[in-house]
Structure 1
Amino acid sequence: MSERILVVGPSWVGDMVMAQSLFMTLKQRSPGCRISVLAPAWSQPIIERMPEVEEALALPAGHGDFALKARWQLGRALRGRFDRAIVLPRSWKSALVPFFARIPVRVGFTGEQRYGLLTECRKLDKSVLDQTVKRFTSLGLPVVEANPPANILEPHLETDSANQARLRGELGLVAPPKAIIGMMPGAEYGPAKQWPLAHFRALAESLTQAGAEVRIFGGPKDVAAGEEIAQGLPGVHNLCGKTRLADAVDLIAECQEVVSNDSGLMHVAAAVGARIQGIYGSSSPHYTPPLTANREIHWLALECSPCFKRVCPLGHTNCLNHLPPERLLAAITLADDNQEALPS
């Protein structure tokens, strides 16, 4: 009988994309296994683009909510359905549903005194499992193979060509002769991860002058930022707040390259095959790199970096302000017959 696995997923877009490396590993080791993912409802459009996952279950709680009764009710409803649970978050509450579901094997890292809730509490050695994706993948492996995993599989999200065509018509997107460049100016974590909007705008202006189309991606909170970049620039489309998450996946997949802060959409872009120009400020490209070899990292590695703060504790954010748009421009290649890099 095929093993039935419940994975309790993470709460951030980028982490959910990276979790696909675990799902791919599980399927590689046991092709017949059946994977269900318990995660916030917003993540379902991402999970649906992962062929390894059979079922997405909506977590009956908002971000940060304890929701004990709802977790207990869901756990009871899931009894008898799963052979193993893998709990990716390290919080106490994240282990409750598998416990209430009486899943016989419940694996996760120690954290918030989860002894009893988990049947296998693994110690997290951050010096060995020094990346989020390594931590996720390791929980799907026997302990003897997990520290660290020998092979990390790169996420690959499926795309919908019919939806791409529909969106191009509805949003007035016309592919230019050279390239489509995506921009992701947002970062849900905080301003210490956000490259200045003036830099994004200067780069967008140079790209469109060279014949590229620029698409700006983000959620409703990024609409004003997108407009600050796009206003008055022909060929720059502010798509922030105009697309669902699944739509963003499809439209990003049409971009040859993307310029992005360390954000969830950067990981989406990597998983649909775009070349990544990844910008890092307060975070570290060693901890959460885009999972593709087709990337270039832009990080000044100042003495104060990485601080992992939401807001610069020194008040200057030099790790991003001093990263000039000319550097990004020189790194981008437009898709023409000669494949020449843009002049800086």
Structure 2
Amino acid sequence: MMMAQSLFKVLLQQHPGVNIDVLAPDWTFALLARMPEVREAISAPFAHGQFAFKERIRLGKVLQKKRYDQAIVLPNSWKSALVPWAANIPQRTGWLGEFRYGLLNDARKLDKEKCPLMVQRMVALAYPKGAKILPAMCPNPELIAADKNVEMALAKLKLEPQSRPVLALSPGAEFGPSKKWPTDYFAKVALEKIHAGWQVWLFGSKKDETVAKEVLAKAPECINLVGKTNLEEAVDLLSVAAQVVSNDSGLMHIAASLGKPTVAIYGSTDPGFTPPLGKKVTVLEKELECRPCFKRECPLEHHHCMQYIKPDEVLRALDQLS
């Protein structure tokens, strides 16, 4: 969803005044509400992988009343193209996948070498078929956190970012252990910044509570926000951080889109495909024969891709971002 904002920006550049509505899962509404390009978020009440043929057709019939001119279908699945087809939208644009010829009438064949980045593949759909897409044509996502929402989130959790600068740490990664930098490394970075007069906030969902406890065991002065915020509050609170250190995760992309100086740590995944898109980002990774493996757990059981990135490297990267 963060990368889709780049597509929304390009659509507005090409068609000033265009109305952009987004059909998406409810959990993404917190992000869409902070994207000024989006007019309306429409609920897609389908579980991940759920076919729900009748429900998709029914939703499409409802959306017919809005008389959309074009639908851009970002997922490559057959079922994702059902709603725009049922809504009888005149132009239905997307990449070929799962034999969607009948559902899409503006189907494109993806050249992965010409568009290696995910964001390029999204933005390319804003242009006519065959247009050449360059990296410079992909504007960075930019979430907008309203001051009122930020103040409410700070008051709720009794946080005072004005007293000392804030380092935000995101030690979790829903994908799996292979994306997680060691918790004792996170703790070492936290302790160094605390000793330098900073406050350190831990971010994450309830699924990251175990990881947060491991960090807190060695750096108890951290302020633990893991599992205590919803996504809206997490976005707003990240907007007041002075610096961010994160695994490859959704929060990493959010921090980058907020313009925060961010150190992004990559292990099993590839920043060459889904990099954090921001002007103040440093990516740390190790060139090893075994990565990127894209596995949820290290198949070699040594996790060298993360173990070899030391806390001192992260601290130096933070200093250089200052």
Q: TM-score, normalised by structure 2?
A: 0.95
Match of 1:202 among 185, 188, 194: 188
Shift of 1:325: 1.0
Match of 1:192 among 159, 178, 181: 178
Counterpart in the other structure of 1:131: 117
Moved more, 253-262 or 166-175: 166-175
1:91 aligns with 2:70: no
Query: Residue 17 of structure 1: SS of its match in structure 2?
Result: coil
Gaps (5+ residues) in structure 1? Answer: 1-15, 340-344
Aligned pairs for 1:49-128 within 5 A: 49-80=34-65, 81-128=67-114
Counterpart in the other structure of 1:275: 261
Alignment-mate amino acid for residue 57 of structure 2: W
Moved more, 19-28 or 117-126: 117-126
Counterpart in the other structure of 2:8: 23
Shift of 1:226: 1.4
Shift of 1:146: 4.2
Match of 1:307 among 279, 293, 299: 293
Change over 3 Å in CA distance of 1:322–1:149 after alignment to 2: closer
Shift of 1:172: 2.8
Shift of 1:114: 1.0
Q: CA RMSD in A?
A: 1.7
Counterpart in the other structure of 2:21: 36
Q: Is the 8 A contact 1:223 1:241 kept in 2?
A: yes
Query: Residue 56 of structure 1: SS of its match in structure 2?
Result: strand
Alignment-mate amino acid for residue 188 of structure 2: A
Q: TM-score, normalised by structure 1?
A: 0.89
Q: Is the 8 A contact 1:208 1:234 kept in 2?
A: no
Alignment-mate amino acid for residue 301 of structure 1: E
Superposed CA offset, 1:77-135 (max 9, x none) = 01142110000011111111001111111011111111111001111111111011101
Q: Is the 8 A contact 1:60 1:71 kept in 2?
A: no
Q: Distance in 2 between matches of 1:113 and 1:144?
A: 20
Write out the 4+ residue segments of structure 1 that deviate beyond 6 Å after TM superposition. none
Gaps (5+ residues) in structure 2? Answer: none
Moved more, 119-128 or 142-151: 142-151
Match of 1:213 among 199, 207, 211: 199
Superposed CA offset, 1:247-274 (max 9, x none) = 1111001111110111111110011110
Aligned pairs for 1:182-261 within 5 A: 182-231=168-217, 233=219, 235-261=221-247
- The structure richer in helix per residue is 2
Q: Distance in 1 between matches of 2:220 and 2:156?
A: 18
Change over 3 Å in CA distance of 1:163–1:334 after alignment to 2: farther
Change over 3 Å in CA distance of 1:296–1:182 after alignment to 2: same
Shift of 1:66: 1.0
Aligned pairs for 1:139-150 within 5 A: 139-148=125-134, 150=136
